[in-house]
């Protein structure tokens, strides 16, 4: 979502030495050598290349960078949303208010993911609340609305088609499906997929890119990143906002970047499905072994 598709020509060096130095000195930039104008394939166009980059940045633990901030974000978000829901507010409203309350933490998590390792704990890397809230409140509102649509539109479609839906308030009442429900389920799945691709993902792109634009210029990113967003961002010291608007965040995201992003999501979906299938097969084999053993 943030890798610059047209970075200055450079040949990235191994990051381990730079990371070790960055751990002892604040915000030391990574180094590189010219590659005579021949830019290589974008890092995030490949799952393997992305993993290799993360490993070069932080070793095996590099794959889990930002996990403490993500854990704090998930726990605090659940607590805040639960509080608002407990006082009678709808779940959608509670989730939105929790997201707005945690814009600092979610922005810090984005910054941790995209920059070289920093010895400071994540709570010491929180950006200024006022500036962060002003920059991100609109993308957060849009993203929250998109997530609500991703939940409500398929649900409404299922009711419209007469497809029974499991109600968590009555967990013992399991829906009864028939053969003609197969096409209804397919329609609901396609509607859900369309909402995610056309609403949720673009709203997440806008939010992440706005949050990335709040990164301090002293920080060094692990991938090519255009902090000016093709000249759309004016530094705050030059009477600018110092961050990209939601509209510019989307308009500066190239068609090639959209294609690369959707391909990455497709690859992750295929890998996840294959992993779940493998786990299901292992469980099935174990069940067969247990059943055979008990019969004997």
The domain limits of the chain are: 11-253, 261-296
> For the residues 117-144, what does the mean pLDDT come to?
92
Measured N-to-C along each axis, helices 255-295 and 201-213 cross at an angle, to the nearest 10 degrees, of 120
pTM for the model stands at: 0.80
Pick 196 or 166 by higher pLDDT.
196
Model pLDDT, residue 28: 40
pLDDT band at 175 (very low <50, low <70, confident <90, very high): low
Q: At 278, is the pLDDT very low, low, confident or very high (cuts 50, 70, 90)? A: very high
Number of C-alpha atoms within 13 angstroms, CB side, residue 263? 11
CB 27 within 8 A of CB 218: yes
Contacts of 235 (CB under 8 A, 6+ apart): 242
As a whole number of angstroms, the distance between CA 74 and CA 79 comes to 9
d(CA 149, CA 200): 8
pLDDT of amino acid 294: 80
**Rounded CA gap, 134 and 131, in Å?**
5
What is the 8-class DSSP label of residue 120? S
Note the pLDDT tens digit of each residue in 208-246: 999 999 998 888 999 999 888 888 887 765 556 788 999
Mean pLDDT for 21-42 is 44
Q: Is pLDDT above 90 for 163?
A: no
Closest CA to 249 of 186, 201, 203: 203
Q: Measured at the alpha carbon of residue 149, what is the angle toward residues 249 and 97, in degrees to the nearest 5?
A: 70
pLDDT tens by residue, 59-112: 888 888 899 999 999 999 999 999 988 888 888 898 899 999 999 999 999 999
Whether 42 shows a pLDDT value over 90: the answer reads no
271 vs 182 pLDDT, higher one: 271
């Amino acid at each position: 979502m943030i890798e610059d598709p047209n970075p200055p020509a450079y040949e990235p060096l191994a990051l381990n030495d730079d990371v070790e130095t960055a751990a002892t000195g604040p915000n030391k930039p990574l180094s590189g050598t010219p590659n005579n104008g021949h830019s290589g394939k974008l890092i995030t166009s490949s799952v393997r290349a992305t993993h290799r980059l993360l490993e070069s940045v932080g070793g095996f633990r590099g794959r889990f960078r930002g996990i403490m901030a993500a854990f704090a974000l998930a726990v605090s978000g659940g607590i805040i949303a639960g509080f608002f829901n407990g006082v009678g507010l709808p779940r959608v409203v509670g989730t939105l208010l929790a997201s707005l309350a945690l814009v600092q933490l979610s922005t810090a998590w984005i910054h941790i993911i995209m920059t070289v390792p920093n010895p400071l704990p994540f709570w010491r890397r929180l950006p200024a609340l006022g500036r962060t809230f002003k920059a991100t409140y609109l993308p957060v509102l849009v993203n929250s609305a998109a997530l609500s649509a991703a939940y409500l539109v398929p649900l409404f479609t299922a009711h419209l088609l007469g497809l029974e839906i499991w109600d968590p308030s009555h967990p013992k009442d399991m829906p009864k499906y028939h053969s003609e429900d197969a096409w209804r389920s397919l329609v609901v799945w396609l509607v859900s997929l369309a909402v995610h691709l056309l609403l949720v993902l673009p709203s997440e792109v806008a939010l992440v890119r706005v949050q990335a634009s709040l990164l301090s210029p002293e920080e060094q990113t692990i991938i090519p990143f255009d902090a000016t967003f093709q000249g759309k961002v004016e530094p705050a010291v030059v009477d600018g906002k110092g961050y990209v608007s939601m509209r510019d965040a989307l308009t500066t995201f190239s068609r090639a970047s959209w294609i690369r992003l959707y391909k990455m999501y497709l690859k992750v979906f295929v890998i996840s499905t294959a992993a779940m299938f493998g786990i299901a097969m292992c469980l099935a084999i174990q069940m067969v072994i247990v059943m055979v053993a008990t019969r004997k």
